[in-house]
Chain A
Amino acid sequence: MVVNSIHWFRKGLRLHDNPALLAALNGADTVRCVYILDPWFAGSTNVGVNRWRFLLESLEDLDTSLRKLGSRLFVIRGQPADVFPRLFKEWNTTRLTFEYDSEPFGKERDAAIIKFAEELGVETVVKNSHTLYNLDRIIELNNNSPPLTYKRFQGIISRLEPPKKPVASLTKEQMQKCPTDIPETPYECFRVPSLDELGFKTATLSPSIWKGGETEALLRLEKHLERKAWVASFERPRINVNSLIASPTGLSPYLRFGCLSCRTFYYTLLELYKKVKGNRSPPLSLFGQLLWREFFYTAATNNPKFDRMEGNPICVQIPWDKNPKALAKWAEGQTGYPWIDAIMIQLKQEGWIHHLARHAVACFLTRGDLWISWECGMKIFDELLLDADFSVNAGSWMWLSCSAFFQQFFHCYCPVGFGRRTDPTGNFIRHYIPKLKDFPNRYIYEPWNAPDTVQKAAHCIIGIDYPKPMISHAEASRLNIERMKQIYQHLSHYKGLSLLASVPTVSEEIDLEYCNKHSSMPGKVSPLGKRDRPPDLEIDEKCTDPKVSCSHLMEGNFEQ
């Protein structure tokens, strides 16, 4: 029987550690690799030019790599539901392979395609390689619901077997057994389009700081590990001004698009750690970046409403303000707070900002200052941020706005102070807001406080050359902390004066061994009775789970 395979690239834009691709080749007579490009995204304001450029560069890279092995990439315009019927017929497809997509809409789209394929007698093979673990297994181990605190998540992970090892990369020999070319088909038909063809104006585009593609990803991985080994310390690095600038070893966009396999990253990092530190078991924090990503994927996979507040069972219903003008100022970097503006400008120009910079601007938009919904911020990030996807972007925004995951909300990032402590030199601001470059360090984070003489000397009058601050941080934070407190106290039924006790606590998963080991530890807990629950594995998150997020906030409750 003839086996004609199609491997469908969506994320997973790589040839290394790609089990679904290997499955396509397995005993096949022909294999064709396709990428389906939905034309409606092109030029639309939802996805910015940097994201498109990264994607196209990744596709080019994939095509080049496939060509080296005697194959090629077929880029097909359209929607999968329309494209596949055509393809299956024209190419006599008998097998379809792709990497598992855990996101709710991905699952829905894929279910439809699988059903359709089965009806036509096309075998489908789906392999999991975008996440370290099988997410359903994590959920299963947590009483069939996704862990809602990171610590609990880590607890579950530590009980799982290690992630599957990456599979071998595709070789020329394997490829040669399964020719690809379609005779008499001009190359032009299926090649990777250019940005211009997709409707972007590229004349004024600055060169990309983050070059897309697997080749670049693997190069960066090497450099990333080199640096870690050189530092010989795997501690969380202190942030300084250099961290704010796009790092040549940064990997997040490559993980998001799948140009780099997370399992490859995991195992190469582990190997290096063992080499440097001996055979000790590494702490979970070594894989922090990967595990956070995993956490959000797990939280989102069964929740199609994960990216919105209304109807989302894990999201606290907060009466955010709707204020398009204020939102625009934030998105454009016109808030009048240089620290915030510089970050947003970097984001727009380059497509990446450091995670602490993300905390700063997210806090400013939502619970810190502007009191605008995190959904608005999430949509802007979706457009501009290279490593944003449904799960991680929405999850991070909910976390940073204290809308989910039981966060304490007291720590507010000051748009002046936090910036100054992170980069006392002010050079980050000077780089992205050249207008402010002549302000002395003392005033660069709060130029409106500079005396007129200083402003004149800097050739930048606040209010004319650079906006005045759009909001009073002191007033706003006072108001907002009060509101957050009221909302949380309403949810936790707490009526006292403590700020910290307003947030419902979630008893963490206890390591049973710990319990037995330290049995000298008094079983009772501290006196603040009502708010404190004894560590009880049964209670876990069920008691605080959907009820806490509750929609009864919206049901017109009144104070009795």
Chain B
Amino acid sequence: MKRGRKSLEDECRSPFKEFKKGCKKVKTTDATSFDTFVDWSTLPQDVVLEIFKCLPLLDRAHASQVCRSWNQAFHMPELWRCFEFELSQPATSYLKATHPDLIKQIIKKHSNHLQYVSFKVDSSKESAEAACDILSQLVNCSLKTLGLISTARPSFMELPKSYFISALTVVFVNSKSLSSLKIDDTPVDDPSLKVLVANNSDTLKLLKMSSCPHVSPAGILCVADQCHGLRELALNYYLLSDELLLALSSEKHANLEHLRIDVMSDNPGQTQFHTIQKSSWDALMRHSPKFNLVMYFFLYEEEFDPFFRYEIPVTHLYFGRSVSKDVLGRVGMTCPRLVELVVCANGLRPLDEELIRIAERCKQLSAVGLGECKVSCSAFVEFVKMCGGRLSQLSIMEEVLIPDHRYNLEQIHWEVSKHLGRVWFPDMMPTW
């Protein structure tokens, strides 16, 4: 909550005092009113607790100013298990920051109650610093969940690495029960991951660390080796290795549920992508047959060489830049488990064959999104016919569809709707 110069208490006091006064005025003589005089301050604590659980923080804070027992209820540990610290500066963000007094109060009174914590920061260095500041004070916490979320430019990356690491490791060392950790876009490094592992290897289930440039494949391998309960992992492609996949497939390891990989490159020809052995993927599949493999590609067209050369268990594919017809053809051949395919851009040549092949071979496919691509209307209808009602998400930009001798743009949406079993239209963009 963002408040002005007034303190939180001042703000809350007046309306509820009136309410309380009002309550005391209820007459008991009126036969149609309550049987007994209602003194809200004597409401049992557990009832108040349940009610407070349903209220947003601000309303709760107001209510806590009414009387001592409600104030006590406000501070009960159950209400302080979860908190999201929003740290921002008005000059850099539209986010409303959590009031500094509230933060102080939480650290003073509730740091040992906190279990599920996240920090939302804006693009200013001050906000990231404030987050680290709070982190360093969470000495009495047994956190189960920690999330560091950048809402704009990753400001954690602007902090001196050591400063960030020492704040983060306070939590790692003290919590000893971290189950879910989201530290994407932060300067976390291999040694700090070792600290994480040393203290939380039994409990860690989820780790999201996309775009953490100071981590090496060895660092993440250490996590996979020691944290056998790891079920969800998100990282960049350069951290992926055969050893990692094999570690995740070891007998001691829990079934992997979800692996998310970002494949990034900025300048064509400057990044060499290593290959992963097919056998590593196969091992992972045998170990966790139901796992989801989500891959987001942000590459130049010519950098796809090492990919889609053999069968790969990917379930969700996103091509964030343009991807060639050839690669989409290979996708059809190598991704039998594909559930969702989203293509930002391809080019001007129709993807007819490629789409049909995908419909034939990807029997689990239920979501397709096409941006700047071209497909002839006939091929598209064919594609939809083959997939049928299993396509629950079909998001095609209007410009994608090329009218041909069989269908024009007006007819196509009836045809497609017919085969999908629901009303469907392509996505539109304003032409004003």
Chain A positions near chain B (C-beta within 8 angstroms): 150-151, 235-236, 252, 283, 285, 288-289, 292-293, 296, 309-310, 317, 319-323, 355, 359, 371, 373, 387, 392, 395-396, 399-400, 407-408, 410-414, 417-418, 421, 449, 472-475, 477-479, 481-483, 486, 497-501, 507-508, 510, 514, 518, 521-522, 524-528, 531-532, 534-535, 552, 554-560
- Residue B219 is within 8 A (CB to CB) of chain A in the complex: no
Docked-complex contact B292 and A497, CB < 8 angstroms: yes
Q: Which residue of A lies closest to B268 (CB)?
A: A449
8 contacts between A and B (CB under 8 A): A323-B153, A355-B430, A421-B322, A421-B345, A479-B150, A500-B369, A526-B366, A557-B84
For A396, give its contact among B315, B369, B427, B432 (CB under 8 Å). Answer: B432
Contacts of B92 in A (CB 8 A): 321-323
CA distance A534 to B347 in the complex (A): 35
Contacts of B268 in A (CB 8 A): 449
- Residue B49 is within 8 A (CB to CB) of chain A in the complex: no
CA distance A322 to B95 in the complex (A): 10
For B344, give its contact among A392, A396, A414 (CB under 8 Å). Answer: A414
Docked-complex contact B390 and A410, CB < 8 angstroms: no
- Residue B350 is within 8 A (CB to CB) of chain A in the complex: no
Best-surrounded residue of A150, A387, A556 (most CB of chain B within 10 A): A556
- The size class of the interface chain B forms with chain A is 35 or more
Contacts of B57 in A (CB 8 A): 555-556
CA distance A500 to B371 in the complex (A): 12
Contact A558:B371 (CB < 8 A) given known A414-B322, A417-B345: no
Q: Which of B62-70, B163-171, B415-423 contacts A (4 or more CB under 8 A)?
A: B415-423
Contacts of B339 in A (CB 8 A): 498
Docked-complex contact B83 and A150, CB < 8 angstroms: no
Contacts of B120 in A (CB 8 A): 319
Docked-complex contact B393 and A292, CB < 8 angstroms: no
Docked-complex contact B367 and A474, CB < 8 angstroms: no
Docked-complex contact A292 and B431, CB < 8 angstroms: yes
Nearest Cβ distance between residue A308 and chain B, in whole angstroms? 10
Docked-complex contact B431 and A477, CB < 8 angstroms: no
* Beyond A387-B432, A472-B266, A535-B422, 14 additional pairs, beta carbon < 8 A: A321-B92, A322-B94, A417-B321, A417-B322, A421-B345, A421-B372, A474-B265, A474-B298, A479-B154, A482-B184, A482-B210, A552-B56, A559-B147, A560-B116
Per-residue CB proximity of B288-318 to A under 8 Å, as 1/0? Answer: 0000101010110000000000000001101
CA distance A413 to B233 in the complex (A): 29
Docked-complex contact A501 and B151, CB < 8 angstroms: no
Docked-complex contact A498 and B393, CB < 8 angstroms: yes
Docked-complex contact B56 and A556, CB < 8 angstroms: yes
Contact A501:B430 (CB < 8 A) given known A412-B344, A479-B154: no
- Residue B320 is within 8 A (CB to CB) of chain A in the complex: yes
CA distance A323 to B91 in the complex (A): 8
Docked-complex contact B264 and A474, CB < 8 angstroms: yes
Contact A410:B432 (CB < 8 A) given known A472-B266, A559-B147: no
Docked-complex contact B258 and A408, CB < 8 angstroms: no
Contacts of B185 in A (CB 8 A): 479
Q: Which residue of A lies closest to B123 (CB)?
A: A321
- Residue B250 is within 8 A (CB to CB) of chain A in the complex: no
Q: Which residue of A lies closest to B317 (CB)?
A: A499
Docked-complex contact B82 and A560, CB < 8 angstroms: yes
Contacts of B91 in A (CB 8 A): 322
The 7 closest A-B pairs by CB, nearest first: A411-B371, A321-B152, A528-B392, A558-B84, A500-B393, A319-B151, A474-B298
- Residue B397 is within 8 A (CB to CB) of chain A in the complex: yes
Chain B positions near chain A (C-beta within 8 angstroms): 1, 56-58, 82-84, 86, 88, 91-96, 98, 116, 118, 120, 122-123, 145, 147, 149-154, 184-185, 210-211, 258, 262, 264-268, 292, 294, 296, 298-299, 315-316, 318, 320-322, 339-340, 342, 344-345, 347-348, 366-369, 371-372, 389-393, 395, 397, 399, 403, 409-410, 414, 418, 420-423, 425, 427-432
Docked-complex contact A555 and B58, CB < 8 angstroms: yes
For B421, give its contact among A321, A408, A526, A556 (CB under 8 Å). Answer: A526
Contacts of A526 in B (CB 8 A): 366, 389-392, 420-422
Docked-complex contact A410 and B316, CB < 8 angstroms: no
Q: Which residue of B lies closest to A520 (CB)?
A: B418
Docked-complex contact A478 and B210, CB < 8 angstroms: yes
Docked-complex contact A292 and B372, CB < 8 angstroms: no
Nearest Cβ distance between residue B266 and chain A, in whole angstroms? 5
Docked-complex contact A500 and B367, CB < 8 angstroms: yes
CA distance A293 to B321 in the complex (A): 31
Docked-complex contact B342 and A410, CB < 8 angstroms: yes
Contacts of A151 in B (CB 8 A): 425, 428
CA distance A75 to B267 in the complex (A): 57
Docked-complex contact B1 and A475, CB < 8 angstroms: no
Nearest Cβ distance between residue A475 and chain B, in whole angstroms? 7
Contacts of B98 in A (CB 8 A): 556
